[in-house]
Amino acid sequence: MDLDKALTHSSRFLAFSGLAAIAFGIVVLVWPGLSLEALIALFGAFALVYGALGLSAGLNLLAHRSTDWVPYVLAGLAGVAIGAVTFFRPGITALFLLYVIAGWAIITGVFEIMAAVNVHAGRSGAFWLGIGGLLSIVFGAVVAIWPISGALAILWLIGVYSIVFGVTRLVFAYRVHAVQGGVRRAIGRVEARS
């Protein structure tokens, strides 16, 4: 099975992780009085879900003998690990949580860019995956450099970032699905003419 078909199967997992990011961002934005404990629990749940879906996408690519599974698996493992840290260490400080979120965003961004490069420029919407990765790195750097910019500003930044990142994931998943559907239709027309 070629890369496009494997990515089509994995695009469902990527779309669900995009929806999880959007849901997390919306909750953070509409609940600005969020307590630290609630933010930690919410972020931990998001990181676990996001990580599990990324890991599933990578394992699906591996099962289809694609060589592009590594960034997805590594990003998924990072999400699961960071989610686990937030649950097993619920007493962490707000500053530490911000650094965890910043580190997770940078790691995820690097793996997203690696995955976009592996998908070959312009094919299957790889551009959107790369944009999402770049946004993750920028977001992580901003939070790491200015972690004490005010709790409300950081919450808004986290919420907006999550929504934008989720949208880029959804667009990438949609583009992969659309390209693969077009390829199947073109093959069907060629076979019908033969």
Domain containing residue 75: CATH number? 1.25.40
Main-chain dihedrals φ then ψ at residue 123, nearest 5 degrees: -85, 140
Number of domains into which the chain is organized: 1
Domain that holds residue 113: 3-193
Is residue 10 within 8 A of residue 60, CB to CB? The reply is: yes
* Span 40-82, pLDDT tens digits: 778 888 888 888 888 888 887 777 766 667 777 888 888 888 8
Residues 91, 134 contacting (CB under 8 angstroms): no
**pLDDT bucket at 124, cuts 50 / 70 / 90:** low
